[in-house]
Structure 1
Amino acid sequence: MYLEENEILDEIEGDRPGSTVVIQTEDEISAIGMMIGSSLTGTRSSTSTSGPGFSLMAEAIGWAGINEVPIVITLYQRSGPSTGLPTRHGQDDLLFAIHAGHGEFPKVVYASGDIEESFYDTALCFNYADVFQVPVIHMMDKFLSSSVLTCRRFDPNKVTIDRGKLLEKIEGDDYKRFALTDDGISPRSRIGLENGIFWNTGDESDEYGHISEDPVGRVKMMDKRMSRLDLIIKKIPKEEQIVSFGVHDFTIVSWGSTKGPIIDALEMLKEEGKDVGFIQFKLLHPFPTEYAKSLLQGAKTIIDIESNYTGQLGQIFKQNLGRDVDHFILKYTGRGMTCTEIYDSLKKIIENKANKREVLTHGA
């Protein structure tokens, strides 16, 4: 549905709980503000945007971070900077998404590799937001959003809903929205819930939400929020963090929509008796360092494939694993990668004829 003005949609089919409202706001700042307000009522809320719109949302992402508001932003990347190539593809915004918002607060950055994945991953992203009470940035790109293909029928039975510590009832009159808990996650009230009054500002606060600059309280609140980064790694199943398509002497690390052409290229090489591994990173922040290390123990040559100039995953990889990427296969023409050009570059790497940095230009 596409709504030009306020409208209430209360039609519910069958026994499905709740309803869905889609609202066209006047700009990206309004979109994220409305989404945060909606989430504070206990409603699952999301918005979508691309690079310049995401830039406008950065301040409000920080507000959601300090107030522990669960939101989901789908970031359809295109080539920048600025307007850049507005109708073309890119994976330029990974580092921006990880560091979006000033100050330090936990968030999840999660990437889907194809259209089928993106359906089920959207449900996962909502669960991550609710369970960990953090902003979640779901990374997509123009290659996926502009693709038309036949998928297997989506199975709703594979989708689970976990609202985390969202409260339905509160006893007593001493509710603390930001209570210090053992796991770092506070029971969450919603606007209008009896006995569940809470305060939100953009300032640091005490457990009730009242503004406070007490240094001891500040340390406790920062430790509480940031502890969720470790909790996220611990609680998200490993198969949702990284997908392994096998590890060999030559192994690819990549993320997002490069998945399809990479798999096709590996099949082409396999027909020639050449085995190349592939590790698809889905959870990009917090980074699953230890799991990645365990998977890549047997890999002698690491090859980073992505659609940006600087090899942004490669930078995160080195920062967290302390290991250099041996080769980069990069494309930043605004066109999607093809299996043919990936195949050609991988073959050169295997034959020791490649540069450290291979730049692809098919379709230019």
Structure 2
Amino acid sequence: MNIFVTGLGCISPLGFNLKENLAQLRAEQDGLVRSEYLESRYKSEKFYGEVKMDTSSLLDRINVSCKKGLTRTDALAFVAFDEAINHAGLTKTEVESHDTAFISASTVGGMCLTDELYRDANLNTETSEYSGSYNCAAHTLRITKEYKIKGITNTINTACSSSANAIMLGLKLIRSGRVKRAIVGGADSLAKYTVNGFNALQILSDKKCTPFDSERDGLNLGEGAAYIVLEAEEACLSKEKYARLLGAGNTNDAFHTSSMSDTADGVTACIRQALQDGGMAENDIDYINAHGTGTQNNDQVELTGFSNVFKSIPPFSSTKSYTGHTLGAAGSLEAIYSILSIKHNEIYPSLRVSNAIAGFDVSPVAGYTNDITINTVLSNSYGFGGNCTSLLFGKV
């Protein structure tokens, strides 16, 4: 069965829509800054992939019936969702149809309101307008209600592979005949909660991150939202199609709560699953959009996984060097960047890479490349607990 990508929508540190994101990727301009809007003691000490607008202004950008209780995560999700369905030309009837699924993802959810959550949970104040907004599914419920979605809905939280798994579930729902189309992706905003957590793990860099560089010293946290419209072939015969979703793989190495096994068991297995699911051989992959966080463990393990699967490792890069790690939005945002690579036959590089990691005779693509044909892209997302997901996209 052919499953096509017919719509894309995103908001990220690179811009407020798909067009702005593409322009920044091509210009090799990252969106990493000292935070302006985050309420944290570390806002001026670290670099963040921050969407360049305060929450109130973000809420002003969305047209919804009720904005009471909406969080920054909600606002980001609404912006990207609306662009995706409009980009796909979905009608109101199609969005509301039982044949349309909506699968979203988040890790932070309403916990971006860390202080409000603390006060509400400890009964320090009257119940606030956000009391129903703290869980990771809040944005999904808000969008479902606003757009009167009647089909299958779900919210996935598998840490940093969350929205990649939302895309995989959409693939499975269409293949099984349960729906004709699926709107899939995720959203996460910066939060004191996650900044403190990642800082406690000592994996936040004080500099702009350098994935796959020998001197890498950690990640930059980011925020954003991204959604993809997937449609079965019979549901989109006359539509413009941007790519095919060929296959997906998911494994869990269960090695450690916050790192992956040195032998890359999960990484290796999920890539092989995706290739098998998509009917592709290892030499069919033209480019890999790597998970590439910039931490010591992640990049070393991911390269080990590549070496286990590929006799000759394809060109690869990490677009987290542009956006930072957007957590629950990372899988879908990077899937969109992978689709743009296929659509335009170009690779967006890993920024700021100076020296290859010792022990591997490969380096990521270090400059914008548009003299290459991209037919197939592997997009990788790995989460805490070793939840590893690979998505395989192909040219139409």
TM bin, normalised by shorter chain, reads under 0.3
- If asked which structure has higher relative contact order (CA below 8 Å, sep 6+), I would say 2
TM-score by structure 2 length?
0.25
Question: If you compute each CA radius of gyration, which structure gives the higher value, 1 or 2?
Answer: 1
TM-score by structure 1 length?
0.27
